[in-house]
Amino acid sequence: MIAALVAFIVPVVQVSTSAPSWRHDTLTYESARLRTVIAAAARANRRVPPGLGAYHAHVESEISIGTQRPDKGEQSLSVEQVASDLAWNRLGDFEQSIIGYRSQSLGLQFASIGFFRNAWAVPSLYGNRLALLFGVDTSRRPPMGRSRVDRSTVYAVHPLAEDRERVYRFRGGDTVVVLRMNGREIPIVRVEVEPRADARTETVIFTGEIDLDATRLHLVRMRGYFARVGRPKPKFASLTESRLQAIAFVELVNSELDQQYWLPSYQRFEAQAAAPFFGDARAVFRIVSRFRDYEITTPGSDAARFALSGTADTLRLREHRLTFAHADSMKRFVAWRDEIGALTSGVTATDFDDVAPDIWRATGPPRTTVRPERIDDVVHVNRIEGVWTGLGITRQFREQVPGLTVRAIAGYAWSEAAVRGRAIVEYNVARMRYGMRAGRSLDITNDFRVAFDSGNATNAIFGIDDYDYVDRRSVMVSAARLLPGRFGSAMRIDAGLVDDRNVNVSMERSLIGRERFRDNRRVLEGRYARTALTLDWRPDINGEMMRRGLGVRAYYERGDGALAYQRIELRGAMRWNSGRVTVAARADLGQVFGRVIPPQQLFELGSSEALPGYGFKEFAGDRAALFRGVVMYRLDVWRGPVPLTQRLWLPSPSPALSLGVQAGWTDLSTPAAHMAVEQLSVADPRELALWRPVARASDGVRATVSGGVRFFGGAVGVLMARPLDHGGAWRLLLTFGGQL
């Protein structure tokens, strides 16, 4: 994932810097007043302020990799914290020196800093070009003969460049806020920047918002995305819209120093990539940086001579160098200002939705694309269906009917010889979300699933299918209210008609290895009315992933009709970092009520539900609880990243002492619960003579404690584990994936 995203954000882009001759286009500015403001701001931006010669600063950055899904919010797979020293001068020299590094991740991966060859911090917003993350001042092309790596610099025309009018159009210019600093009032003017429709030269430009200090007309903030313009429109646009789409968002915020200069204080770069053919999920690569401890010096003699030489721009062609402190020095670094995860846990991929390109917006002309909901709507494998292939079509009505989206997904299970699919209507208005779904699905009956468990898409190929299934036909309507905040918190109600049916194993052996699959556990068939209430607070925080904070979920479901029951679930999850200590935990509680309890509504726990050392769904009950937690204490050794090749680095090994607990409990408290367990293994409840037990109550708390050492931010563990509920022996446990 890292390599794919970095490959996107380092394209070879060459932009001509000689301004072509053109007549002034009065459509470039929304008003004459705005044209005057932009012209004055461009003159101020062209040259570094006379009193600013150079600066040194300290910056802490977090680099995170994750996914954004509408149904689960943002899931953070890894976070890397990087400390850097910056040195910049008005001649254009800039160096970012990495002096500290640490990381946490769900799985073992390469350190992303190994893929960077140029500084990612933007040292200032002065000048005619923006070098984005990777390079040099871009007022000229690189000299001939430079290596391909050196020429892989993303060049963008600055919105305040001298040649801005050939590619940009400007709107707005109203005062949006007044900053009060040290007894002064600073009005901030916001301008919307967009590409000209008649741009001909292929160029990288910025689209979004710029904020200006209305008093001195210095640039205070940029927020938007970068894209190429001037390319011919592709043929078969509806098909090309279904290929990989990648957008480079950016937010660059300056703060006033010494009441004279606006210099970087906060920067956020975010590459979001989506392949609509595989669903709504986006891959997110994010860098968030905070700048501190500025030391500013006045111009030296060289800078003064250059500034007085009549050159229009005080910035010259210079490399934006990225260097690394000696490995021993990086290993000794401990002067972190923020806890790991603090910067990236406070943002989300949807923050840029209001400035996203047209293809990702909810406004604009109607759009129809080949686009399912999830990647497993296209292809997946399990022991019930065998190989399943499908297709999804999405119609976004956008301005035709604002907020309305219609989807159709259908596919064929080749071993089962069955067709499944669904039709979906969604309508969003303000903070309300309305929906209707109708179709046939193969639903999973496993309980207390982890955040990254979205179903078995490919493991069955190799003989692993740790799920049980129910064939479900349903027609449901829903209404959801988004709660305050930006992280997907919501209250939701669902209601509709459901028909549950048994399914049998159709693919008896795996495609590779020819492992024989076990039978599918039985369900109680019947039609019923289903109602569900859900409260989700911070669904992006779940303990397993890298986001810090507290997440809570409360769920109530009831069935009325042939299957009559009530079910309650509660979940709390947290992750906390302080110095060398990390604590992550998740607790789940549940109970189901009913005179006759459908076996598919029982709670089942075992090896696939975080109880190592026990059988597959060995325990079942109408009441259940599950706790998973780990405490890690990082040792003061091996803190630096490990280069393997020029570009491939391992994150710092950072060994940490680890103590983990997994504990589960189930209880069969009523005759209905005992009957439901018996029905798990028979096709017909009347055939109890054929019954053999497949699950039982846990008879108290079943718990395992593990201790040892974890490496690479918790991604790899060498542990000793022992059950607490009986006198079992200690055994060696190797873990991968940072599971709780």
3-state secondary structure 275-325: CHHHCCCEEEEEEEEEEEEEEEECCCHHHHHHHCCCCCCCCCCCCEEEEEC
Q: 435 and 354: one domain?
A: no
- Same domain membership, residue 135 and residue 54: yes
Q: How many domains does the chain have?
A: 2
Digit-coded pLDDT (tens) for 420-431: 999 999 999 999
Backbone angles phi, psi at 664, to 5 degrees: -135, 155
> If residue 8 lies in a helix (H) or strand (E), which one and from where to where?
helix 2-9
Residue 730: inside a domain, yes or no?
no
Q: Cβ distance 602 to 622 under 8 Å? A: yes
Q: Does one domain contain both 351 and 387?
A: no
For residue 679, what pLDDT is reported?
85
Same structural domain for residues 176 and 287? yes
**239 and 103 within one domain:** yes
Token pair listed for 292: 């501190």
370 domain residue, yes or no: no
Whole-angstrom CA distances from 64 to 106, 200, 478, 514 are 12, 36, 33, 39
Q: Which residues of the chain have pLDDT under 70?
A: 1-26, 131-155, 230-243, 300-318, 682-693
**213 & 283 share domain:** yes
498: which 2 tokens? 């459901």
- Any idea which residue has 């349903």 for tokens? 474
Q: Residue 249 sits in which domain range?
A: 2-18+46-359
Statement to judge: residues 337 and 454 lie in one domain: no
Q: Tell me if 344 is assigned to some domain.
A: yes
- Match 């305050």 to its residue by tokens: 484
Residue 247 lies in a domain: yes
Domain presence at residue 288: yes
Tell me if 337 sits within 8 A of 61, measured CB to CB. no
- Residue where a domain stops, chosen among 474, 492, 520: 520
Asked whether residue 554 is domain-assigned, the answer is no
Dist CA 664 CA 679 (whole Å)? 22
Asked whether 391 and 379 are in contact (CB, 8 A), the reply is: no
pLDDT tens digit string along 587-630? Answer: 999 999 999 999 999 999 998 888 877 888 999 999 999 999 99
Mark whether 170 and 287 lie in a shared domain: yes
pLDDT at 132: 60
Asked whether residue 566 is assigned to any structural domain, the reply reads no
The number of residues making up the chain comes to: 740
Q: 436, 401 in Cβ contact below 8 A? A: no
Q: Which of 520, 543, 573 is the last residue of a domain?
A: 520
Is residue 208 domain-resident?
yes
Q: Say if residue 313 is in the same domain as residue 438.
A: no
Regarding whether 121 and 75 lie in a shared domain, the answer is: yes
- Contact, 728 vs 721, CB < 8 A? no
Single out the residue of 586, 617, 635, 578 nearest to residue 740, CA to CA. Answer: 586
Sign of the CA dihedral running 282, 226, 84, 342:
negative
CA-nearest of 717, 599, 706 to 663 is 706
Same domain, 213 and 280: yes
Domain boundary among 520, 536, 557: 520
Q: Against a cut of 0.95, is the pTM above it?
A: no
Together in a domain, 391 and 353: no
